[in-house]
Amino acid sequence: MKLFEVEEIEEIKNELLQGSIIAFGTDTVFGLACIYDDLKAIEKIYEAKGRDKLKALPMMCSNIEMVDKVAYINEIDKKIMNKFTPGPLTIIFKKKEIVDDYITSGRDTIGIRIPNDKWILDLIDSINKPLLVTSANISNEDNILKWKDVLEKMGERIDGLVKKDAIGKRASTIIDGSSDEIKILREGPISLKEIMDCIKE
C-alpha cells in the first residue's frame, strides 16, 4: 500500500489508470476510488469494503458536461445541479449505454456527484474519465474523516492512500432525479426544502 502526498497528483493518476484503488478525503467523508470503467478495480473495491454487490457504486464527475456523457439529464436535474454543484449532492440519473451494467449492479440508473473539492476535480480532469467513489470504510461501519484512521482500518485492503483528511462531516444528500418527480433518498447537508425551493424558482 502506497502513501501519497496531495501534491503527487500525477503519480495518483497513474496508479488509478493502472487499476489501483485509492482512498482520499473529499468534501463530505473519506472516499475510496477507482476508474469508472475498470471492472477489475471495481471488484477490488467490493472486496476491500466487504460490500454487497447488489449495491452499486456512486460516481464522481468534474463538471456537468462529463455527467452528460454518462447519464441522461433532464431540465429539473440541470436546474438543481446549477444551484448545488459542485457540492454534497448525489443525483440518481438514468445511465447511458457507455456505463457498463456491472457498474450499476444491473440497474439502468447511476448516482453521480460533482464534489466541491478542487483537488478531486483536478484529478478527475487529469484522467479525463469519471471515478467511482464510495466511502472508505468497511460496509455498515461508520464513515471515516481522517486519513490516519483509514490507514488503521483499511490500510491492508487498499492500494493507495492520500494524506488528506475529509473536510465534511456528513455523507451527501441523495435525490432520485431519474424521473420528473424528485424524491429524496437520503438527507445530508442539503435539505429537501432547499431542493424543492430551487425547483420552484
Say whether pLDDT at 191 is over 90.
yes
Model pLDDT for residues 47-76, shown as the tens digit of each residue = 999 999 999 999 999 999 999 999 999 999
In the three-class reduction of DSSP (H, G, I as helix; E, B as strand; rest coil), residue 84 is classed as: helix
In the three-class reduction of DSSP (H, G, I as helix; E, B as strand; rest coil), residue 45 is classed as: helix
Residue 108 CA neighbour count, 13 Å, CB half: 4
Tell me the average pLDDT of the chain: 95
Longest dimension (CA), the chain: 49
In the three-class reduction of DSSP (H, G, I as helix; E, B as strand; rest coil), residue 111 is classed as: strand
Say whether pLDDT at 201 is over 90.
no
Say whether pLDDT at 16 is over 90.
yes
Residues 6+ apart with CB under 8 A from 166: 25, 26, 27, 28, 29, 30, 31, 144, 145, 146
Q: How confident is the model at residue 179 (pLDDT cuts 50, 70, 90)?
A: confident
Full-model pTM: 0.94
Q: Which domains does the chain have, with CATH numbers?
A: 2-200 (3.90.870.10)
Whole-number pLDDT of residue 180: 79
Dihedral pair phi/psi, residue 190, rounded to 5°: -100, 125
Q: How confident is the model at residue 104 (pLDDT cuts 50, 70, 90)?
A: very high
Q: What is the DSSP string of 157-182?
A: T-SEEES---S-SSPPEEEE-SSSS-
